[in-house]
Chain A
Amino acid sequence: MAKGPMSTPSSYAAALVMLFPALFFSLCFSVYEDQVGIWDWHQQYIGSVKEAAFQTQGAGRKRVVVATEENVLASLNLRSGEIYWKHVFGDSDNIDGLEILLGKYVLTLSQQGSVLRAWHLPDGQLIWETSSLSPGSNAMLIVTSIDLHTESGKGKLLLILGDRHLLGVSSVDGALKWSIESKELSDNGEMNIKKIVQHDEKSIYGVGFLSLSGFVVWDIDAKTGHINSRDVITHHQELSMNDLIVTESSVISLDRDGKNIVWISLNQQVLQIASIERHIPDGKGRPHLMEEHAGNIFVLKFKNQISLVNLGSSNVPELIQSLQDHSIVSLGIALPGGDKHALSVIQQVSEDKINVHIFMEEGDKIKVSSELVGSDIQRGFVKKAYLNAYTRNDRSHGFRVLVVAEDSSLSLLQQGEMVWNREDGLASIIEASTAELPLEKEGVSVARVEHSLLEWLKGHWLKLKTALMVASVEEAAAVQALRLKSTDKTKMSRDHNGFRKLLVVLTKTGKLYTLHTGDGRIVWSSFISGFRRSGGKLTMLKLLPWQVPHKHAMHENPVFLVAAKVASEENKFGLLAWVDAYSGMEINSVRLTYFIEQIIPLPLTDGAEQRLHIIIDDHANAHLFPATDESLQIFLEHAQSTYFYMTDKEKGTITGFAVKGPQTASPLSPSDGVLFRSQQLWTIMFPSDTERIVTTATRRVDEVVHTQAKILTNQDVLYKYLNKNTLFVATIAPSGAEAFGETSPEENWLVVYIIDTITGRILYRLKHSGMCGPVHAVFSENWIVYHYFNVRAHRFEYSVIEMYDRNRIDNKNMLQFMLGKDNATATLSSYSHVDLDVKTQSYFFSHSIKALTVTSTARGITGKQILVGSVGDQILALDKRFFDPRRTAEPTQAEKEDGIIPLTDAIPILPQFYLSHAYRVEGLRGIITVPAGLESTSLVFAYGVDLFYTHTAPSRIYDSLTGEFNYALLLITIFALLIAIIISWILSERKELKEKWK
């Protein structure tokens, strides 16, 4: 091929792209712009809200700005919950503080208080950023109303308080005005200022404790950071260091045993004490002061209740109300216009009802109002609440509450009703799987068919008009709407092509959602009740198809197995639940007596098509599920040949085990499974001073391989090495930090292994010097593609390993192979002699990646695409033919016929390769692929903070007419042909008649 004297490889690649557009065209399955939304959908989420700030004043659109656990900063429409804009911060860039300034700017404090950014509220544009702050840990951001005049404009003073520094920052450009080091305030170097309150237009108060027995109040000059005065108010008893709140006029704390409320008024600086027992007689246990307060209202949290207390001008704590049940207190707010303050408490009355209490302080009076609001059981309890007030037409105050539920969903309550709700739990998917929809019911009415036939014809007539460019704008829009709203794709039944499926996803909070692949709507969502209130830290582990309707269990509903583990201080154990995929109903859930290390689905099913699983506990015992006699019988036949392995990344070992016969005579305990012991067979230990396991990859359990051999044009046969028990392991140098900014090529290496997991034999080992992680790998059929960083070239690289079995190469005759007279059907054993022919090749790649997977099709005939989650949160589909170790710079004619692409040193990225086209799956974490019923097509679902679903056809759609196919044009052609036949017949008739008259 025309290699030419190109100077750089990239220009070579570019030239190649220009020279062979047709070639590349054939390598991608691209979409036209008007096809967007026909098969794909994209949903945006933000995650679990942890901070919120409202912007409801003034004439502009009402918004709420939120920061979430997933490091997302987003501005939402307060009327509908729609996202105006959002930004996903880096992984370590946790947002600690969020404030709105002057109704125009959003301020965020992130990365342990070291980065302060100002954003433009309407569009989310960054205005300035200050990133070298170091206030220390637990930093908080305080916006004051103190004016600052600098050369670059007018602004307000911002304060950042951490445990090392108190910083004064200008809101104009983020410039630091002053800083107070903790050393200046105390001798022990600890930050003594715990709370900050603005005193007047010139000064601020810092409040802290004097060792254990008193308060210290610093009066700090807001302009210079100079400490004007330091006042000490001592108390004869020790104070509780964890309980301190500062209201506008007083400092409140508790004494060490929590028996008394101790407070000082900031104006008078006199210490006052009141007994809690006397004022709140029904509180049990030691109370704590909650951070949330409004005006003079503060909250005491007891073991059994929370009590709202008013510390009014009477200087006597006055109990307003005590609330039992699960209650959440919102931050207090100052109401617009005047000295009023309010606070809300969301009380979970029952599973499906919440009571919204609003406590409003008007002068010395406290107004209490309550509204009962229905809530969804499936959202769980309220986790957080944010209060906002507005002024009604009659000058009275109305309130709205933004509520975050246990499943991370966000909803807005106003006037006793839910205005909107967002399912933001979907931003934290950890596992995804699919289930088939039920079969279509028989007996569809004739009228519906006729109607749809008419619609169908009309649709195609419009389509024809657009194709011939004679359709009006409205008609073109109607065609587009018709294509997008095709009722066919959203039906709740199985389709012939297998495009309609249920996507079952498990989120971090332990909630299951099912989405319809047609339009991405939520079919059902449910909390696994067996997992809730389990005590300790709950971690979701796995979502596995337990029962797939098939053969004789055709009319059963599909069932999923969900596994979780709980680790608390006392004990750790596993949890299992079985959930019906059509209704979301929890069929059963058990609490195991052991910890789950691993769950292995076996290639065996019982009479009811329930898949057998073994659960490996932390003592390497195997537990068989389902724990029935039948499954035990089935398993015992195969128990002798059941092996498993465990990878310990910390110790750097991989250990293989064999399952040993059932342990007990009558072992059927349905909740714990049938216990089997295991025997350790082999261990591979990677030297911890030179190698560290970073990535492992295995073949998909459900992968279908169509052919065991690759037949070349020159009639050679290459036999793929298709042992299912092979494991790919990548290790890197332990010093080669994940951060490759500071390392040199000499101290980095990447070693990859291919290991047989039955015998522990290392089939292949390859060392790449000067390479480092992060490593992403995908293993399919007989090949592995992995991505890593080349420190020497300072570029990313892909490598491919293909394994062929040389043992079987003797019968090379293609004719024999086609006649089935070969040894391709011979049993493959890990113990037999292996003679691998391994081919490898490496290519440069421009970008870092976030996820790597491969397409899968129903029968494995179709070619493969490598799906890459790109650094820009897009999904890139690269043809497997780019990753073919047989590629050479100048392929021979025979190789070209085999579909070998000329070798380039880099994998090209064409914009048309992006499956996600203009969409971004922000915070991309994983991609799953599922075979469609149609062999050519693979379904792709990508999840992160956003969700994206589409189809891909790696070898283009060869087994079905595409939606693009114009039936109307076909009909018209047929009509035209018929008319032409008739006309020509008439003409010939006439001519003949004329002839005869002659």
Chain B
Amino acid sequence: MAISGVLSLLPIVVAVGFFTAAIPISGAGEYTIAGRIRHSRAEGLSGNKAPFKTLNIKVILNAGQRVAFVRPDGYFAFSGIPAGTHLLEVVAPGYFFSPVRVDVSARLNGQLQAFLTETRRVISEPLMFEPLREEEYFEKREPFSIMGLLKSPMGLMVGFMVMAVFLLPKLMENIDPEEMKRMQEEMRNSPAPSFGSLLQGRTS
């Protein structure tokens, strides 16, 4: 994959708790999970109504424990996180992101190790997340086509009728005239009115 090439082009995000030295940390944790969300295309795929906008994206830590919003450059951060294994879910309308398992190491002073649970791909710092796929919520409407129309029940009905009109007389032609005469005789004699006699109507 060309991911690494892309990464090197981008300014590298350094996940540092900005003022950890100056201010006592609130909460139990002392580490920061920071990362960046990016997408190679700024525009959505054709047909995708939700362009990739950082403004609609949220990052959710541990099934709703904390929610982070994303800066225009895709950067997000959770601070005051205890060491352990955490789960990040990225919510972006129209895009599917794999949940990410993030290990915050206490031994290595808060070093992050991330792991996409869907594809089992390991990512290391700086964390960079990309959507796995775009989501198209709507069924695509098939464009109008003659074949489609013909395939519909009504189309088949019309088709069969056309066939009957043009092919059946052809079949009739192949029948021996004497045989034909005999059949017509039979039809006249039979009590039930057949389709043929109906068509002939008053003439008979």
Of B6-14, B135-143, B185-193, which stretch is located at the interface? B135-143
B93 touches A125 (CB 8 A): no
B158 touches A742 (CB 8 A): no
B54 touches A125 (CB 8 A): yes
Distance in Å: Cβ of B198 to nearest Cβ of chain A: 9
B144 touches A920 (CB 8 A): no
Report if A997 contacts B (CB, 8 A).
no
Q: Which B residues are CB-close (under 8 A) to A488?
A: none
Distance in Å: Cβ of B24 to nearest Cβ of chain A: 6
Per-position contact with B for A89-108: 1 when CB-CB < 8 Å, else 0? Answer: 11111000000000000000
Report if B126 contacts A (CB, 8 A).
no
Contact A741-B65, Cβ < 8 Å, known A32-B138, A132-B25, A969-B154: yes
Report if A651 contacts B (CB, 8 A).
no
A847 touches B23 (CB 8 A): no
B22 touches A176 (CB 8 A): yes
Distance in Å: Cβ of A503 to nearest Cβ of chain B: 24
Of A355-363, A439-447, A617-625, A984-992, which stretch is located at the interface? A984-992
Report if A657 contacts B (CB, 8 A).
no
Q: Which of A10, A123, A130, A989 interacts with B55 by CB under 8 Å?
A: A123
Report if B50 contacts A (CB, 8 A).
yes
Q: Which A residues are CB-close (under 8 A) to B101?
A: 794
Of A304-312, A853-861, A937-945, A970-978, which stretch is located at the interface? A970-978
Report if B63 contacts A (CB, 8 A).
yes
Contact A126-B69, Cβ < 8 Å, known A32-B138, A34-B141, A872-B93: yes
Q: Which A residues are CB-close (under 8 A) to B81?
A: 741
Q: Which of A90, A114, A128, A132 interacts with B64 by CB under 8 Å?
A: A90
Chain B residues 145-172 with CB under 8 Å of chain A are 152, 154, 157-158, 161-162, 165
Per-position contact with A for B49-64: 1 when CB-CB < 8 Å, else 0? Answer: 1100011000011111
B85 touches A848 (CB 8 A): no
Report if A522 contacts B (CB, 8 A).
no
Distance in Å: Cβ of A574 to nearest Cβ of chain B: 32
| Separation of A123 and B54 alpha carbons in the complex (Å) | 11
Q: Which A residues are CB-close (under 8 A) to B115?
A: 794
A131 touches B62 (CB 8 A): no
Q: Which of A87, A88, A973 interacts with B157 by CB under 8 Å?
A: A973
Per-position contact with A for B80-120: 1 when CB-CB < 8 Å, else 0? Answer: 11111111010111101011010000000000000101111
Chain A residues 163-201 with CB under 8 Å of chain B are 165, 167, 175-176, 179
Contact A125-B91, Cβ < 8 Å, known A794-B85, A980-B165: no
Most chain B beta-carbon neighbours within 10 Å: one of A36, A92, A125, A789 = A125
| Separation of A85 and B157 alpha carbons in the complex (Å) | 53
Q: Which B residues are CB-close (under 8 A) to A738?
A: 65
A90 touches B91 (CB 8 A): no
Report if B129 contacts A (CB, 8 A).
no
Contact A739-B70, Cβ < 8 Å, known A179-B22, A918-B137: no
Q: Which B residues are CB-close (under 8 A) to A34?
A: 141
| Separation of A85 and B20 alpha carbons in the complex (Å) | 33
A740 touches B87 (CB 8 A): yes
Distance in Å: Cβ of A466 to nearest Cβ of chain B: 9
B63 touches A848 (CB 8 A): yes
Q: Which A residues are CB-close (under 8 A) to B62?
A: 739-741
The chain B residue with its CB closest to the CB of A745 is B85
Report if A881 contacts B (CB, 8 A).
no
Q: Which A residues are CB-close (under 8 A) to B138?
A: 30-33, 36, 912, 917-918
A129 touches B78 (CB 8 A): no
Per-position contact with B for A869-883: 1 when CB-CB < 8 Å, else 0? Answer: 001110000000000
Chain A residues 3-37 with CB under 8 Å of chain B are 8, 10-11, 30-34, 36
B54 touches A8 (CB 8 A): no
B93 touches A176 (CB 8 A): no
Q: Sample 26 A-B pairs with CB under 8 A, ordered by A number.
A: A10-B118, A31-B138, A32-B141, A34-B141, A90-B64, A90-B65, A114-B80, A126-B69, A127-B72, A128-B71, A132-B80, A134-B24, A176-B19, A467-B144, A469-B144, A739-B65, A742-B84, A871-B91, A872-B92, A873-B91, A914-B135, A918-B49, A920-B93, A980-B161, A985-B199, A988-B200
Binding site for A on B (CB under 8 A): 17-20, 22-27, 49-50, 54-55, 60-72, 77-87, 89, 91-94, 96, 98-99, 101, 115, 117-120, 135-141, 143-144, 152, 154, 157-158, 161-162, 165, 199-200, 203
Task: List the 10 shortest-distance A-B pairs measured between CB atoms, nearest first.
Answer: A90-B67, A848-B63, A911-B135, A917-B137, A742-B84, A872-B91, A973-B154, A33-B138, A134-B26, A30-B139
Binding site for B on A (CB under 8 A): 8, 10-11, 30-34, 36, 85, 87-93, 112, 114, 117, 123-134, 165, 167, 175-176, 179, 467-469, 738-743, 774, 789, 794-795, 846-848, 850, 871-873, 909, 911-912, 914, 917-918, 920, 969-970, 973, 976-977, 980, 984-985, 988-989, 992
